[in-house]
Amino acid sequence: MPDVSAEPPTTAGPLAPRALADFTTLRLGGPAGQVRTAETAEQIVQMVRAAADADAPAMILAGGSNVVVADAGVPGQVVLIRSRGVEVVESTDTEVVVRVAAGEPWDEFVAATVDAGWSGVECLSGVPGSAGATPIQNVGAYGQEVAETIVGVEVYDRVDDTVRRMAPAECRFAYRTSLFKHSDRWVVLSVDFRLARSTASAPIRYAELARALAVEQGERVPLAEARAAVRALRAGKGMVLDPVDHDTWSVGSFFTNPVLDAAAAESLRTRAAGVGEPPAWPGPGGVVKVSAAWLIDKSGFAKGYGGRGGVAISGKHTLALTNRGQGSTTALLDLAREIRDGVHDRFGVTLHPEPVLVNCSL
């Protein structure tokens, strides 16, 4: 199987048809009618516009870390986003605004911010994929999410055939979603982040990370320490890409943590009697976010569950569904349905997938 942690050799322009498994962290996905590589924002726009003019809208694919592609693949054109570049566009004594090309590998960008003494995304270390994908699902982990630092998203609007920069309010950021997630109207070209000039991290919010750092929640630590601790925690859960570790052949968390209203949260507590209190985090308006991993485990789906059809739950984390090397998208989705339905039967809570499903569904 290919190592997608190392970039496969590509050049601008058309490529011979090939399996999209070559470009996804699951190592799953059938062939595309045509694969082209765009190395600049201008090339992205040109290729997407040309596909639309030919009445064959192109699928956009960057890091492939949050996408599940059908075994049948994609009949049309796929544009691989491989634009690179990080530029400071505003600077004061206390802050910088950094413009990041959509194809810039996310963890490389985070590493660069830590080295530069810019605080604000250090707890998102180790997240796979590209910078341009982060606003699409409002990437978040260990107490940070990109909506907190994004100040602009440059997009190509396929409907209006224009390029413009969208303000955060226009992006409709919410928990693991945005205006962009379920619409292909907008193609992200670059993202602007406002970061603090500081060698100390933002206040540590996440309890597990605070414990790993041996600090209290709300304390700050050196940026490099925060990054190292986050990467270690992620690696322990199989959430840092490793070409020889099948526990990392995934899209990370397959399901989002359910957000329940007060009545649904009380119903869950009643149905969970005897197996423990569901881990939960209160939110605005009386809603409660509960742990999908806990629900999965307590519904009888333990780490390593599956082992058929070449797919299984990760041996390190119950939220990751993995390709063990000989899997298929069909088998992966069958496992996801089994887990979703089992959790609903046990607790009355419906789990929703976090990745984008391409030419397939649950």
Residue numbers annotated as active site: 176, 253, 354
Alpha carbon 164 to its chain's center: 24
SS3 assignment for the chain: CCCCCCCCCCCCEEECCCEHHHHCCCCCCCEEEEEEEECCHHHHHHHHHHHHHCCCCCEEECCCCCEEECCCCEEEEEEEECCCCEEEEEECCCEEEEEEECCCEHHHHHHHHHHHCEECCHHHCCCCCEHHHCCCCCCEECCEEHHHCEEEEEEEECCCCEEEEECHHHHCCECCECCCCCCCCEEEEEEEEEEEECCECCCCCCHHHHHHHCCCCCCCCEHHHHHHHHHHHHHHCCCCCCCCCHHHCCCCCCECCCEECHHHHHHHHHHCCCCCCCCEEECHHHCEEECHHHHHHHCCCCCCCEEECCEEECCCCCCCEEECCCCCHHHHHHHHHHHHHHHHHHHCCCCCECCEEECCCC
Q: Left (φ > 0), alpha (ψ -120 to 50) or beta: where does 115 sit?
A: alpha
C-alpha neighbours within 13 Å on the C-beta side of residue 207: 3
Q: Which amino acid is at 89?
A: V
Please tell me the distance from the alpha carbon of residue 357 to that of residue 143, in angstroms, as a whole number: 26
Please tell me the distance from the alpha carbon of residue 68 to that of residue 88, in angstroms, as a whole number: 34
Please tell me the distance from the alpha carbon of residue 5 to that of residue 128, in angstroms, as a whole number: 9
Report the candidate in 278, 285, 243, 229 with the shortest Cα–Cα distance to residue 261: 285
